[in-house]
Chain A
Amino acid sequence: MRKDIILNTGNTQIYSKLLLAAILILATAGMWGATARVDYTWRWERVPQYFLYKGEEAHKAAQDAKVARIQPQGKSTAVTLDYDDGTQEQFVVDTDALKVTQGETLFGGDTVGFTSSWHVGPLIKGLWVTFWLSGLSGILGLALGLVTGLCRISKNYTLRGLASLYVELIRGTPLLVQIFIFYFFIGTVLNLDRMVAGVGALGIFAGAYIAEIIRAGIQSIPRGQMEAARSLGMTVPQAMRHIILPQAFKRTLPPLAGQFISLIKDSSLVSVIAITDLTKSGREVITSSFATFEVWFTVAALYLIVTSLLSQVVFWMERRLSVSD
């Protein structure tokens, strides 16, 4: 009997996997067909240079000079110029890009040679901006959310009212509009940098949602925990810090992770106030590469990498915190 059941589940699993594979293959084929229809030429080879590229830097004589010495040192070469005013300058350039010979007379502005080095492209720069923009606004959001969440369950009517107002105001208006208000109105009044405005708008937005998550987390802890802590003589802040918040944190970790993932994605909206985050970099790259489809897919993949890394970190934390279950 039991063997039958196991065999059955085994078969079902195989069928399910086959079905999944079939759907994925169909979806890919569909996309393939769709792009073939619009006659789009894929140029994936254009994308890597926007991550990392080799740039050449020209080294030029400052004024009229004579090439005094050329000393090859393997891949690079040291060139010494005698300037007409009696001073000397030494250049180190790549040997294969050396443009002068021994004893040659140069005019000011003539190129002595080139050096090449690796530079990070706009996509990596944009990714980095997105990374710290979401990081900073996440910290701001967490701090705001913790304070607001605590205010929401406070006995003080004023604090409770202010906290509810903040949450309702932020949750009830679109983030895009908030970013505009923050940048054009508050930013102008307080003379804020666009980065500060971006971080502020995102952090305040996330704070409203985090406040509700934290309030729910605290309220989900049985009343007996607070009573036990108070009966031992702890004050409310002590009980919060040592007993309630650590337990609430563990419970709110999954929804908090969701909120932070949302925040990373929502940070793409700050591109409207000309912050060069990953999305804006993507748009800029498209103007020079004309590889619209490829760049957007790449940008999406970069977001996906960051968010799934965060998911993994949270998963790891959840596992660590579950030792007491």
Chain B
Amino acid sequence: MIDARNVVKTFHGRGQVVRAVDDVTTAVTKGEVVVIIGPSGSGKSTFLRCLNGLETFDSGHIVIDGMDLAAKKTDINLVRREVGMVFQQFNLFPHKTVLENITLAQQVVRGRKPAEAEETARKLLKKVGIAEKEAEYPARLSGGQQQRVAIARALAMNPKVMLFDEPTSALDPEMVGEVLDVMKQLAREGMTMVVVTHEMGFAREVADRVLFMDAGKLVEEGIPSEIFSNPKEERTKIFLNQVL
């Protein structure tokens, strides 16, 4: 489903060149849940954003569902339709109601009729457990509710892959659970997911595979039990000691 080969992304700032993503190679198969962990600034979010073209990368290849992002003739908008993204800051559209947030892209991008889009939206709102809030504006929802709307908005496009960029980091602690529950449910339904998170409990419970990144490099990857109980690399051990 996702095939990343030798991806390099550099940032140039104040005379310095930062290799934010440094030669990362990995693959995600259909139905797999991959969790990326690592310290702040390790490039995990940047790598995730490369996966749907929100960041361009300098070299390497990312092939999503047969479409190569590095190829000039690839229409990035076609790729993005198939890749849903959930942000740390939710990024709901504040001037639209909850229902409109979910129906807009369906109509504009997928060309669905309003009635059809609304039906999809209501079904998804029910699934994430906030069907009663459809007429509210995002500002009146709690963080956890907003993030669930954001998940529903991404799902409404029927993506083949869902990317989560620290989806619970901006939430009050008591709301983390409701968002993680929705994500767990998605994982059980067989959605292909790539999740950047600091929630080690979630990684351990849900992930099929865990990637550990540090300083732009993919340091270690493996099944959760291996990584968490028996990490091979020194840097992984230090990081896990600090967070667990």
Interface residues of A (CB under 8 A from B): 222, 224-225, 227-235, 238, 242-243, 246-247, 250, 321, 323-325
Instruction: Report the minimal beta-carbon distance from B48 to chain A, rounded to whole angstroms.
Output: 11
B77 engages A225 (CB within 8 Å): no
User: Are B80 and A243 neighbours in the complex by a CB distance under 8 Å?
Assistant: no
Extra contacts besides A228-B87, A233-B105 (13): CB < 8 Å: A224-B91, A227-B54, A230-B54, A230-B77, A230-B80, A233-B80, A238-B108, A242-B104, A242-B108, A246-B95, A247-B93, A324-B97, A324-B137
Are the CB atoms of A224 and B89 closer together than 8 Å? yes
B77 with A247: CB separation less than 8 A:
no
Q: Which of B94, B95, B97, B109 contacts A233 (CB 8 A)?
A: B109
Q: A228-B93, A324-B139 are known contacts. Are A233 and B87 too (CB-CB below 8 A)?
A: no
* Contact indicator A231/B54 (Cβ below 8 Å): yes
Q: Is B209 among interface residues, defined by CB-CB distance under 8 A?
A: no
Q: Please report the total number of B residues contacting A with Cβ < 8 Å.
A: 30
**B81 in contact (CB, < 8 A):** yes
Give the distance to chain A from B88, nearest Cβ to Cβ, in Å: 9
- Nearest CB of chain A from residue B96's CB, rounded to whole Å: 8
Which residues of B are found within 8 Å of A242, using beta-carbon distances? 104, 108
Note all chain A residues with C-beta closer than 8 A to B87.
Answer: 224, 227-228
B168 CB-CB contact with A under 8 Å: no
- Using known A-B contacts A323-B137, A324-B95, determine if residue A231 contacts B109 with beta carbons closer than 8 Å: no
| Max chain B Cβ within 10 angstroms of own Cβ: one of A233, A234, A242, A246 | A233
Contact present for A232 and B105 (CB under 8 Å): yes
- Residues on B with beta carbons closer than 8 Å to the beta carbon of A227: 54, 85, 87, 91
> Is B84's CB within 8 Å of the partner chain A?
yes
Which of B81, B87, B91 has the most CB atoms of chain A within a 10 A radius of its CB? Answer: B91
Chain B neighbourhood of A222, CB < 8 A: 89, 91
Of A225, A235, A321, A323, which is within 8 A of B91 by CB?
A225
Q: Is the interface of A mostly helix, strand, loop or mixed?
A: helix
- Chain A residues, Cβ within 8 Å of B105: 229, 232-234
Residues of A near B77 (CB, < 8 A) are 230, 233-235
Our pick among A230, A232, A250 for the contact of B95 (Cβ within 8 Å) is A250
Assembly CA distance A321 to B109 (angstroms) = 26
In the complex, whether B153 has a CB less than 8 A from a CB of chain A is: yes
Distance to closest chain B CB from A189 (angstroms): 44
CB distance from B198 to the nearest CB of A (A): 19
The answer to whether the Cβ of B197 comes within 8 Å of any Cβ in the partner chain is no
22 contacts between A and B (CB under 8 A): A222-B91, A225-B93, A227-B85, A227-B91, A228-B87, A228-B92, A229-B93, A230-B80, A231-B83, A231-B154, A232-B105, A232-B109, A232-B153, A233-B77, A233-B78, A233-B80, A233-B110, A233-B157, A242-B104, A243-B93, A324-B137, A325-B139
Chain B, range 183-237, C-beta contacts under 8 Å to A: none
B52 within 8 A of A: yes
Q: Is A232 within 8 A of B157, CB to CB?
A: yes
Residues in A neighbouring B137, C-beta threshold 8 A: 323-325
Do the beta carbons of A228 and B108 come within 8 Å of each other? no
Q: Kindly state the separation between the CA atoms of A324 and B141 in the bound complex, as whole angstroms.
A: 11
| A233 → B minimal CB distance (Å) | 4
Give, as a whole number of angstroms, the nearest-CB distance from B111 to chain A. 11
A232 touches B94 (CB 8 A): no
The 4 closest A-B CB pairs, nearest first, are: A228-B91, A232-B105, A233-B81, A231-B85
